[in-house]
Structure 1
Amino acid sequence: MNEAPKNENTANETPLEDAPTHEALWEVNAMAAAMHARPLGDLPATISGLSIDTRTLSPGDAFFAIQGDRFDGHDFLTAATKAGAALHVVSEQKLPALGRVQSPLLVVDDVLKAMSRLAEAARARSKATIVAVTGSVGKTTTKEALRHGLSAEGSVHASAASFNNHWGVPLSLARLPRDARFAIFEIGMNHPGEIRPLVKLVRPHMAIITLIAAAHLGHFRDLDEIAEAKAEIFEGLVADGTAILNADDPRCGPLATMARKAGVTGIRTFGETVGADYRLLSFEPAGDGAVMEAVIDGETVRVELASRGRHMAQNILAVLGAASLAGADVHRVAAALKDWRAVKGRGGRDRLPMPAGGHIELIDESYNANPASMRAALDVLATTQPGEGGRRIAVLGDMLELGDSARDLHAGLIEPIEAAGADIVFLAGEEMKALDDVLESRVKREWHENPGELLDSLLKTIRTGDVVMIKASKSIGFSPLVDKLLALYPPTAATTDAPGTPAGDAQSPAPSPADDIDPAGAAT
């Protein structure tokens, strides 16, 4: 089996990433020097990309044999060679067992550490304007919107999917092309101290904190402690760098104070709050999407969006503010966002044709969930009008890592469920029993022990005109529910809301627990 290392606590995903646009990403001599590597064999002059997964390795890539919790990349060197790897980066300690490998090698003390050294070299040679994004919600969505919007102004490199942890950030940075104009990196955590070393690698010109919310609350005392962990991102800002904070977040003030303590003098804010530097003027649903107007540096900017979720406005304000600070034409960036779509599992929408005619509307929020992202997803459900005879159906699974607050936070979803006008609620997971209890006699609902049982009942229930929104923490396993619906009722090209990012050249292990969750279902 030709799999790369995976973390046992996470599920697989197919990430999206910008495909290589240059024949040579690295000259091998420079790469070896940066990694302190010992060359063995007939090495090529250049490599075209970096991979840690043989399943999606492209010919000409360098394969990094990373040691994971469950898999060791050194076990897949033969598969990497067959896939066209130009060379392998391997550990000195593993070398005695690699006698049969005839491919060119770069031998290093530790493969992950060597990749981090290569990331440092990539940062040192880059002249790109670099943005780092963190936050409990909205991070992946903001990163992807930045990628799409800034592409109207020049070449953009961005981390794939939610590659935001101790291997994802170095890999993404090491893949940074020399001549990219912009680079966007997502940085995540679920424990204190995890952002600090990553942001010091990236050294961004701007650091966005989208929002502080109850993601991974089980690992923290309270939201203030989460804010302190997120504020580590300020420590890596370059001199004269800028912190971009959510003015509508109650912890905006404390975050600004922490930024100043870290030596940050440039602080900008976004939101609806009077006095925000990048301020939302209006947000109105329009057709299948929405139209928003904002004031960015004294100019009114109009943005047409494919999503109806009001939470998207916060993300887009941060995008426009960062674009302005980067010297981009904000109106061109705003125009480009008209074509941007949420990606699979993070708010992607499909119209699924039904056998009897008509369709159902599927809102895929299956990638992850916390209380803030649940509320945002239910708001999207509320603003989506069912077809004739249709109903609003919420399919919800457990929100994990909430600690002692789990029961109350699950039960607290009754308010946004009722506000969304949900006609039927399907629930799965032990934690969702708390919500099942409070929904009794108030909203038609079904609780199931697992997603498989839920799916059987859901398939018997749905009918033409329904709007179905699916959301849960990633490891609950709700993405197969979406896949099953798509397989049973395949959407045509005209009825699907396709991802707004290009397919990538590399599939890697799913993000580690150093994740946060965004309102579109993304990991942080």
Structure 2
Amino acid sequence: MSPLWTSTAIAHATGGKASRDFGVAGVAFDSREIAAGDLFVAMKGAQSDGHDFVARAFAAGAGGVLVERPVEGPHVLVNDSAEALVRLGVESRRRTNAKVIGVTGSAGKTSTKEALFQAFDRISMGNAHRSLKSYNNHVGVPLSLARMPEHADFGIFEMGMNHAGELSELTRMVKPNVALVTTIAPAHIEYFGTEEKIADAKGEIFEGLTGEAVAVLPYDSPHIKRLYAKASRHARRIITFGAGEGADVRAVEQVAAPGGGTLVTARLPEARLSFTVSAPGAHWVQNALAVLAVVDGLGGDLAVAGLALAELPGLPGRGARRRIALDRGGEALLIDESYNANPASVAATLAQISQEAGKRKVAVIGAMKELGALSESLHAGLAEPILQAGVDLVLLVGAETAPLGAALRNKLTLHEVADAAGAVALLPRLLKDGDVILVKGSNSVGLSRLIAELSAEKV
């Protein structure tokens, strides 16, 4: 099997010098993630220097390393490892004929990226590539590009941003054939001030469009005209998705599927498709419509994409569901949305829990970060969707949730704790047989610890 990269190709792409000939099967910048045959990129960070872990990487089976100073073992020597990784990603994009999809948005990026991968992996019979985890920043994107096999048929890349200009830089690396914006919401509004500015920043993804140059937009967004104007300057074709009557890809019928999920009939520009979305929740129907819009934009097999949507696996931190045994006997349904949170995504998952059958509905809501001056009002604004969802018990985690606690006081059973450790200590004592438990919060709150504790998976 031919290597992903040879030392000659790495040196050519990065402007570096190889110590000797070698080949690698993968790329990583975290020595703890090195697999046999990988290239370890030793980068200097704010807290540590990757060069200190070169020996660990070789011990783990690294096939070579990318370094700024000579080391023992096969390596390519460069002036700047971080810049070299970018160059490697750019070269990977240049050498491939894959159809490339770029995904951004305030919510649903990772979930939709994974759904797109499942669809295109099935369409290509196993020859699709995507960015892993949430590798969507100035380091994660070039890493994900560098990991793409030269002969892949499709590549799906998630792109995120905290500030204006960041997506512009990333999309010019990725050069997507199709660029998708999932939704616009006040995530990272601390750095932007208004949703309009967030929409403008998300619209930067269209600047890198190439080839088919298709833009896929959320029709129901109040910022659709703003996104459309930006997309029209770069895209040859614009496809909208959503619930509105004018959406190009729209669900005309949807009913609950046996055992969870949704049966959907969707209307597309030149087709009509009935399929099942295995993941429950109205937000997943919207994700599915976005997937179909992208597949349609690339002329892919819509029926095969529908089959992939019917078999989507649950994603840890993004909707994974499991039955858990309770300390006091009985069991409960745990819905793991612990990875990230903003007002739109919290409201969407609360709407989901309202449809779940259970004796009680329990919501663990962690603080939403990077909301700036709007933090108090946006946290307090979650009171209405919580009450509308019929939640019986709420556990709030983090100081930022205090305004929400004030809005909910005396309206349901309410508990408040300072941090994830407090949630881990308290929640198991509150749970009862038949509960449905939603855990949702920004990743930095650390509610994954609570998921691990409830699932008896100690980390």
**Range of TM-score over shorter length:** over 0.9
Deviation at 1:393, TM superposition (A): 0.3
Q: Distance in 2 between matches of 1:171 and 1:269?
A: 30
Change (3 A) 1:391 1:23: farther
State the one-letter code of the partner of 1:122.
Answer: S
Match of 2:412 in 1: 443
Match of 2:112 among 142, 166, 185: 142
- 1:342 shift after superposition: 2.8
The aligned amino acid for 1:440 is R
1:263 deviates by: 3.1
> Is the 1:43–1:105 contact (alpha carbons within 8 Å) kept by the matching residues of 2?
no
For 1:227, the equivalent position in structure 2 comes to 199
Q: Which residue number in structure 2 is paired with residue 402 of structure 1?
A: 371
Greater displacement, 322-331 / 404-413: 322-331
Equivalent position amino acid for 1:482 in 2:
I
Counterparts of 1:329 and 1:488, CA distance in 2: 39
Task: Return the offset for 1:240.
Answer: 4.5
Partner residue of 1:193?
165
Instruction: Select 2:12's aligned residue among 33, 57, 63.
Output: 33
C-alpha distance in 2 between matches for 1:355 and 1:288: 26
Report the alpha carbon displacement of residue 358 of structure 1 after superposing the two structures with TM.
4.1
Question: 1:509 is matched with which residue?
Answer: none
Q: Which amino acid aligns with 1:241?
A: A
* Cα distance in 2 for residues equivalent to 1:83 and 1:451: 33
What aligned pairs does 1:12-411 form with structure 2 within 5 A after superposition? 23-40=2-19, 42-44=20-22, 46-91=23-68, 95=69, 101-154=71-124, 155-260=127-232, 262-286=233-257, 287-354=259-326, 358-386=330-358, 390-411=359-380
- Opposite residue 18 of structure 2, the aligned amino acid is P
Deviation at 1:447, TM superposition (A): 1.1
**1:63-111 alpha-carbon deviations (Å, 9 max, x no partner):** 11012221211010100111111111101xxx2xx5xx32012011111
Give the deviation of 1:43 after TM superposition.
2.7
SS of the aligned residue for 1:314 comes to helix
SS of corresponding position for 2:335: strand
Shifted more, 451-460 versus 437-446: the winner is 451-460
CA distance in 2, matches of 1:392, 1:379: 12
What one-letter code is carried by the residue in structure 2 that aligns with 1:451?
A
1: CA distance, partners of 2:270 / 2:384: 37
C-alpha deviation, 1:433, in angstroms: 0.8
Q: Do 1:48 and 1:60's aligned partners in 2 also have CA atoms closer than 8 Å?
A: yes
Asked if the contact 1:392/1:467 (under 8 Å) is kept, the reply is yes
Q: Is the 8 A contact 1:308 1:383 kept in 2?
A: no
SS in 2 for 1:437: helix
The separation in 1 between residues aligned to 2:114 and 2:275, in whole angstroms, is 16
Question: How many angstroms apart in 2 are the aligned matches of 1:379 and 1:194?
Answer: 32
How far is 1:170 from its partner? Answer: 0.3
Which residue number corresponds to residue 511 of structure 1?
Answer: none
C-alpha displacement at 1:453, in angstroms? 2.1
Deviation of the 1:334 alpha carbon: 0.5
Report the alpha carbon displacement of residue 323 of structure 1 after superposing the two structures with TM.
Answer: 1.0
Cα distance change of structure 1 residues 131 and 488 upon mapping to structure 2, 3 Å threshold: closer
Rounded to whole Å, the distance in 2 between the matches of 1:265 and 1:157 is 25
Q: CA RMSD in A?
A: 1.5
Q: Decide which of 415, 421, 435 is 2:390's aligned counterpart.
A: 421
* Equivalent residue pairs, number: 455
**Gaps spanning 5+ residues in structure 2: where?**
none
Q: TM-score, normalised by structure 2?
A: 0.96
Matching residue's letter, 1:471:
K
Q: How much does 1:356 deviate?
A: 6.5
> Is the CA contact (8 Å cut-off) linking 1:141 and 1:342 kept in structure 2?
no
Quickly say closer, same or farther: Cα 1:358–1:488, change in 2 above 3 A: farther
1: CA distance between counterparts of 2:297 and 2:357? 38
Q: Counterpart of 1:178 in structure 2: which amino acid?
A: E
The answer to whether the Cα contact below 8 Å between 2:130 and 2:155 also exists between their aligned partners in 1 is yes
Provide the secondary structure at the position in 1 that maps to 2:216: strand
Q: For 1:353 and 1:441, locate their aligned partners in 2 and report how far apart those are by CA, in whole Å.
A: 30
Aligned to 1:13: none
CA contact (8 A) 2:31 2:57 kept: yes
Offset of residue 332 of structure 1: 1.0
Query: Do the aligned residues in 1 keep the contact of 2:327 with 2:428 (CA within 8 Å)?
Result: no
8 A Cα contact 1:60 1:85, kept in partner:
yes
Code of the residue aligned with 2:440 in structure 1: it is K
Gaps of 5+ in 1: 1-21, 490-524
Residue by residue over 1:169-196, the C-alpha shift from the partner in whole angstroms, topping out at 9 and shown as x without a partner, is 0010111111111100001001111111
